Structure 1
Amino acid sequence: VIGDRASRLPGNLHVHFPGAAGETLLFLLDQEGISVSTGSACQAGVTEPSHVVMAIGRDERTARSVLRITLGRTTTAADIEALLAALPGAYERARAAGTR
């Protein structure tokens, strides 16, 4: 988990996935119908590493291996279960593909 574990917004999580490119994870999860991001909300569509992650002292390699997972009012328990079911396989495939 990126950032302070106690002092954070509820429903907003940055997670580092060592050895996997965030863009690859994003693509694989999107194929499962799961929406995540590799950067902040204001970086939508930007392929640069997360400036938020770098601003808190993480290096570019880490910033490129991060996903932002956000829960909102319309997020259901089924949405969370789908993410939890898809994430291990997506991470394994993304790690096999390597980082860039």
Structure 2
Amino acid sequence: MPNTTNIGFKYIEGEAILLLLNKYGICASSGSACTSGSLEPSHVLRAMGLPYTTLHGSIRFSLCRYTTEAEIDRVIEVMPAIVERLRALSPFKNDDSSWLQGQEQALAHR
């Protein structure tokens, strides 16, 4: 859909992003529409071969005819600080975790 974008933020959880976006009055969803209400990553995103570390940091933004340019600019303004803050807390920020790479490979074969 041309009004929807799904962005994956590596090494952080989508739910944490949503909590911080909410503080700014910004609404979004984690994952994809086909998995709303589930903690499992979207089968569509998995089929695209996205790594496990990105799948769980997936955020869906949907726009409508009433969405303003100022609202979009606000998201662009606050997202870098949110991502930086959450990545600083993440235990998964290093790619050298061999067990994590194994998880990514296992998910890719599901």
- For the criterion TM > 0.5, the same-fold answer is yes
Aligned length: 92
Q: Percent identity?
A: 38
Q: Structure 2: which 5+ residue stretches go unaligned? A: 93-110
1:23 paired residue among 5, 8, 15: 15
**Gaps in structure 1 of 5+ consecutive residues:** 1-8
Q: 2:41 aligns with which of 45, 49, 55?
A: 49
Q: Deviations over 1:37-87 (max 9, x none)?
A: 112224333222233311222233321022111211221112101111111
Alignment of 1:1-100 (within 5 A): 9-98=1-90
Contact 1:39/1:52 (8 A) holds in 2: no
- TM-score if structure 2 supplies the norm length? 0.70
Stretch moving more, 74-83 or 42-51: 42-51
Bigger Rg over Cα: 2
Q: Whole-Å Cα distance in 2 between the matches of residues 77 and 40 of structure 1? A: 23
Runs of 4+ aligned structure 1 residues displaced above 6 Å come to none
